[in-house]
Amino acid sequence: MKIIEKYKEKRPVISFEIFPPKQGVDINTIYRTVDGLADLKPDFISVTYGAGGTGSNTTVDIATRIKEDYGIDPLPHLTCITSSHEVVRKSLDMLLTNGIENVLALRGDYPPGYVPTEDRSYRYAIDLIREIKADKDYCIGAAAYPEGHIECASEGQDIGYLKEKVEAGADFLISQLFFSNDIFYRYREALVEKGITANLSAGIMPILSKKQIEKMIFMCGATLPSRVIRFLVKHENNPEALRKAGIAYAAEQVADLIENGVDGIHLYTMNQPEIAKEILSRVSNLTHKVC
């Protein structure tokens, strides 16, 4: 089923993100993760794509298993920054062969040591979106950045680029992580003002460690509210207490988002299904009431 149809049927659409195991790690570990997530009956599960196009076959294999063995719609990521047209077409053909009709089209990050060349096939996600839309009957998701992409000159410019992606064929949007719902609400209003009406799922990542959050802030430039900074400092030397505080904070974010009519909740699970279970159990009274 195309994910865009799910947004027409219910609010909020609930989804999770998982990533393939690192090279050399037993592939079956990811299916133990899916076992735990399947119990929560998500509307879809996204599967990340290796940096620079590595692991594309693994992404397709996992997505296919999710669809065939669990009966859950998968959303495989497809990145393009270091890929050729031939590699992208091969990946799309593999998905189509396996009956997968949803794809999250992303530029992707530059691999360590990668030097871009002028003759590369793709520069931006919009190039990939246009190609998919022209040749394949896919439902296409795209990334949205509530605080602007870290490489973009301004938030306004970033929203302009997002509008171009939607006009090029992106059917729905999933946001980058954020830790202040007010930022998300202002962003949602800004999209509407610019005429962007595609459904938008809010990306939520629970804070599990100080090291994790420092890495994510450096990678995406997310703002930390003072409340988050306080519990990071308070529990800096108590990992379990920090983990509990982070999960509680994420659950509060999700509950508030649902109360404010968010289109969807996309949990970055970090392959830990117990985290998703804990968060959703805290807001289950809300998720069951929303239709």
Active site residues: 17
Asked if 74 and 115 count as a contact pair (C-beta separation under 8 A), the reply is no
Asked if 253 and 181 count as a contact pair (C-beta separation under 8 A), the reply is yes
Q: Which residues contact 241 (CB under 8 A, 6 or more apart)?
A: 234, 235
Q: Which residues contact 208 (CB under 8 A, 6 or more apart)?
A: 242, 243, 246, 247, 270, 275
Asked if 280 and 40 count as a contact pair (C-beta separation under 8 A), the reply is yes
Asked if 102 and 139 count as a contact pair (C-beta separation under 8 A), the reply is yes
Q: Which two tokens stand for residue 177?
A: 């992580």
What sign does the dihedral 48-214-161-124 (CA atoms) show?
negative
